[in-house]
Structure 1
Amino acid sequence: MRFMMIVKASKDSEAGKMPSTELIGAMMKYNEELVKAGVLVAGEGLHPSSNGIRISYPVPGGEPVVKDGPFAEAKELIAGFYLLDVKSREEAIEWAMRMPDPHGFGEGQIELRQVFEAPELTQDEELLAKEAELREQSERLKKA
């Protein structure tokens, strides 16, 4: 089962303040542990929302609206993420608990969310087959 660890933004991350060398070192050590355990699928930090774009759909069937950042409340924004492939919810929590404070000064917050698997979304065999085909195609293209 896959879980996304969402690293919440802080005022400093939204201001573009870079983490300390010590924090980057601690995060690299944590990343190494995730890789060695074979649970890391992806993990990245994100630029501040001032560099972001938000697309909303205010009217059903209408045109999407594009808005440039920055966006409100830093605590509601995302500064980075990890995607983990683990055996259980408990294992995901264990990994999240081992993560260093992502902002290094007591403002860090992580949200842990399970990723939907295709069979949870639909029982339509045709759609499930198409989803599996797209995943396989994506994997082949990565290797090419």
Structure 2
Amino acid sequence: MPSPSPILVYVIGAGSVFLGIHCFLRPEVEYRRFGLPLEPAHRQKHNTGDEEYASPVIHLKGIRETTYGLALGALQYHGYDGAVTIMTAVMSLAGLGDGIVVWLYGGDEARGKAFGHWGAFAALAGLFLWRTYGDVHG
């Protein structure tokens, strides 16, 4: 069942694209926003002391977010309602996995950020279920 308005899908897609772009523009900030500490293996010694750098893996996250958002928007634009519904399920699973990774590796200070990822999982899974089963009693 397609949603009555595509606006929600476009907002989710645009948000995903913006998160992806943020990974490239401010990788250290995005690393922390995501809920992971900067990796010690990527610290570089400078004359002024130790500076931390985000792992290049954050760019892979940026690519994932951007491509998910573009795909979701393109599928909605072309009217592929079933594919939009499936894409929301796939994106929800990414949120579930991200939350698990942050919970296990983010440290005690960032552990609460796992709930943000799981909230995204719940919201996108709810959208998937609504689009799939929302018209059952209607």
Q: Which has the higher strand share?
A: 1
Tell me the TM-score normalized by structure 2.
0.29
Tell me the TM-score normalized by structure 1.
0.28
Q: Which has the higher helix share?
A: 2
